[in-house]
Amino acid sequence: MSEPAKPTSNEQLSIEQVPALPDRPEDGHKGTFGKVLIIGGSVGMSGAVCLSSVSALRSGSGMVTAAVPRSIQMTVAAYEPCVMTIGLDTDSNGQLASLSRKRIEKLLAGKDAVAIGPGLGQSAEAAELVAIVLEVCRVPLVLDADALNVAAIGGLLAKRNKETGCVITPHPGEFARLTGLPVAEDEDTRIAMSADFARTHELTVVLKGPRTVVTNGARLFVNATGNSGMATAGSGDVLTGIVASLLGQRMNAFEAAALAVNAHGRAGNFVAFELGERGMIASDLLQALPKAWEQMESHQDVTRPDDAS
């Protein structure tokens, strides 16, 4: 499905209905449901890429591969055996080493969607990796976390190949670094800033927070699901995996992002119902995602479950 044309004014088509889930044919196979690559992780930050990878699987992907520094490969592989891993070259301290353009192109080959950033770190080598991925990637791409931070420092978004869809998922601090402007708390300003950035850079912005804003500059979705318990480390990494999974299932960038944030919030509501908001952690969302998808497939238009059984 192609992206809608960019508007000629600041007006956006606001949608309230959550996009439909991608088709899941009975005769499908692993390739049918998308091969997703998650690039990230660093020493001390292996959990981020674990959360993203498992959430992609829990969102319907046929195959998910985590490309991580070789120093943490065993940790990531042990977290969930259904996630495949690729070890990237490291230096003597176990940190990511420089990768050639040819190596990165080989890494991306055969994938249907790519996400980069969770736990990646902000080293010069990480920035170089992000720059090359932005330039050579020919499939839909998600940029999150440290990928956004290094992109802000180096102005790397200008190097992006714009032939394919791209989703960025900043929290307000990351978005402020990207734009060079503080992010206002009022919703109208957040929407206007997000839409302007999306139009300028020809991508979809997911500005995270209460009532997450999703816009590609032409269309707007403001999410109503979720709760304060989701304001915890790793929650955004789970969202990144969901977006990447839906992109790999051939949804367009805006609709994949809108569906992802809604499902993410629904999963958070299931967890809050069972455990309470105060004690939630991000990995709880992984177990609740199947319930969220089931609820959405049943066309239950609710934000908090009546029955968590």
pLDDT at 159: 85
pLDDT at 287 > cutoff 80: yes
Tally of CB atoms within 10 A around 136: 15
pLDDT at 18 > cutoff 90: yes
What are the pLDDT digits (tens) for 73-126? 999 999 999 999 999 999 999 999 999 999 999 999 999 999 999 999 999 999
pLDDT at 155: 87
Residue 180, classified by CB atoms within 10 Å of its CB into exposed (0-12), middle (13-18) or buried (19+), is exposed
pLDDT at 307 > cutoff 90: no
* Phi then psi dihedrals of residue 35, to 5 deg: -105, 115
Average pLDDT in the 65-79 region?
A: 98
pLDDT at 270 > cutoff 90: yes
* Phi then psi dihedrals of residue 189, to 5 deg: -70, -40
pLDDT at 8: 40
C-beta separation of 147 from 131 below 8 A = no
Q: Kindly indicate the confidence band of residue 308, based on its pLDDT and cuts at 50, 70 and 90.
A: very low
pLDDT at 223 > cutoff 50: yes
Average pLDDT in the 65-75 region?
A: 98
pLDDT at 158: 87
In DSSP notation, 20-87 reads PPPP--TT--TTTT-EEEEE---TT-HHHHHHHHHHHHTTT-SEEEEEEEGGGHHHHHHH-TTSEEEE
pLDDT at 10: 59
Average pLDDT in the 213-227 region?
A: 97
* Phi then psi dihedrals of residue 206, to 5 deg: -115, 100
Least Cα distance to 166 among 128, 198, 126, 208 occurs for: 198
What are the pLDDT digits (tens) for 236-265? 999 999 999 999 999 999 999 999 999 999
**What is the share, in percent, of the chain residues with pLDDT greater than 70?**
94
What are the pLDDT digits (tens) for 144-198? 999 999 999 888 998 898 888 999 999 999 999 999 999 988 999 999 999 999 9
pLDDT at 300 > cutoff 80: no
C-beta separation of 24 from 268 below 8 A = no
Q: Kindly indicate the confidence band of residue 51, based on its pLDDT and cuts at 50, 70 and 90.
A: very high
Tally of CB atoms within 10 A around 300: 12
pLDDT at 226: 98
pLDDT at 233 > cutoff 70: yes
- Give the SS3 label for residue 13: strand
What structural domains and CATH numbers belong to the chain?
Answer: 30-297 (3.40.1190.20)
Tally of CB atoms within 10 A around 25: 8
* Phi then psi dihedrals of residue 223, to 5 deg: -80, 145
